[in-house]
Amino acid sequence: MHLVYPAVLSALLFCVGLYGVLARRNAILVLMAVELMLAAVGLNLVAFDVWLRDVTHAGQVLTLFLIALAAAEIGIGLAIVLLVHRRRGTVAVDRLTELREKKPVT
């Protein structure tokens, strides 16, 4: 198989995820977009590993680590999102402005 196919798919998927991170307002939807980005990187790593026929399987092992990392981050991320929802009633990232520096009144 030509390496271009997985590589291009991965690049496009990464950019779709990037759009989601920048455009989405609901924090959980942003998390979904980040998952797409990480999955794209995983595809890249696996394709390169198979192409290189790496003896240590570095790419595939790193993909496994990446999947575990994504699961860990989703776990803690959702806990934080739920905490924000409990305290503030909203999970829209552009509505959370309490910590912005207030301009002096003078």
Partner 1 sequence: MSGGNGYLSPSGQEIVFVLTGLVVLGAAVLCVTTKQLVHAALWLVVALGGLAVQYLLLTAEFVAWVQVLIYLGSVVVLLLFGLMLTKAPIGPSAEADSGNRPVALVVALAAAGTLVTLVADAFRTAWIDLDTPHGESGPIGDSLFRVWVLPFEALSVLLLAALVGAIVLSRKDTPDAPDPAGTPGTTGTTGTGPAKGGGR
Partner 2 sequence: MNLVQTVDWAVIAPPVIAAVAAVALLVADLFLPAARKALLGWGAAAALAVALLALLPLRDGDRATFCLPGDPDLCSYAADRFAVTVQLLVLGGAFLAALLSIPETEDGAVPGGEFWFLLLSSAAGAALLPAARDLATLIIALEVTTLPAYALVALRRGGSAGPEAALKFFLSSVTATAVGLLGVSFVYAGAGSLYLEGIAAGLPTADPRLATLVDAGVALTLVAFAFKAAAVPFHFWVPETYVGAPLPVAAYLSVVGKMAGVAGLVLVTTLAFPGYGDLWGPVAGVLAGLTMTAGNVAALRTDPEAPHSAVRLLAWSSIGQAGYLLVPIAASAYATDTIGTAVAYALMYGVVNLGAFAVAAHVARQRSAHRIADYRGLYARQPAAALALAFFLLCLAGLPPGIIGLFAKVAVFETAVDADLGVLAVVMAVNVAVALYYYLRWTAYLFRGPAATEAGPGETAGSGRPAAPLTGAIVLAALVGVVLSGAPQIILTFASGAML
Distance CA 10, CA 32 (A): 16
**Does residue 41 touch partner 1 according to CB under 8 A?**
no
For 32, the token pair is: 């979904």
**Does residue 17 touch partner 2 according to CB under 8 A?**
yes
Site string for partner 2, 20-39 (x = CB under 8 A): -x-----x--xx--x--xx-
Q: Which of 66, 61, 78, 79 lies closest to 37 in space, CA to CA?
A: 66
State the binding partner of 37 from partner 1, partner 2, none, CB within 5 to 8 A by kind. Answer: partner 2
Q: How far is the CB of 86 from partner 2 (least distance, A)?
A: 8
In three-state secondary structure terms, 103 is: coil
